[in-house]
Amino acid sequence: MNFKVYRDDWGIPHLRAEGADGLAHAQGWNAAVDRAWQIEVERNRFQGTSASFLGASAAGWDRFARQARLDDTARRCYEALDDATAAWVRHYVAGVNAGMAEGARRAPQFAEVGLEPRPWEPWVPLGIWLGTHVLFAGFPTKIWREEVARALGDAAVELFSAEGADGSGSNGWLVGAGGTAHGAPLIAGDPHRPVEDPGVYQQIRLACDEFDVVG
């Protein structure tokens, strides 16, 4: 895949490719080069294998990830994708695999814990998304409600509910091109994430013949 990478004065990557598939490859490559340790840790976390190099303190999460079948869910989600989306994901994974060796050389943590990065399977990005966001979804609430019902009965569930009538969730908003000073639309959201280092999000510009976005 041919693509171009430019980093501005703040180190923000600007990626350019001819099409969306090439851009997916470029974005995967960039993620691996910039954040190899982070994304490889997250891969092991959703597969329930992080204690093998992070130690016993990670075993509780690994047990949860296996009991929740995050890896199996990611595989089944990938298999359910339409052909075009599955191909796009494969291009991203190919980019990660192309950049991982360079990224691992830049990250001293790999040598410190003796971790050798493995080639990604096509469903790994979906698994990382699941592992990163499972505790931000309704999953914990469903477990909690199940425990309340089991211990106190179905009638007690609402007594312990912290949700309004319409449930809860993250907030997002969209401003159309006619409402912005620069004439381009804006989309934003508030994902309620804790402070992390590094954070799960990376500022980046993605440009191809079809679109040119930054966020």
Considering the candidates 50, 57, 168, 170, report the single residue annotated as catalytic: 170
Cα distance between residue 47 and residue 39, in whole Å: 12
Task: Please indicate whether residue 170 is annotated as part of the active site.
Answer: yes
Distance of CA 135 to the CA centre of its chain: 13
- Indicate the residue type of 132: T
Question: Which one, of 25, 124, 147, lies nearest residue 77 by Cα?
Answer: 124
∠ at Cα 211 (205, 212), nearest 5°? 30
CA angle in degrees (0–180, nearest 5) for 23-29-137: 85
For 37, the token pair is 């340790």
| Whole-number Å distance between alpha carbons of 87 and 22 | 11
Question: Quick one: angle between helices 20-47 and 83-106, nearest 10?
Answer: 70
Give the residue numbers marked as catalytic. Answer: 170
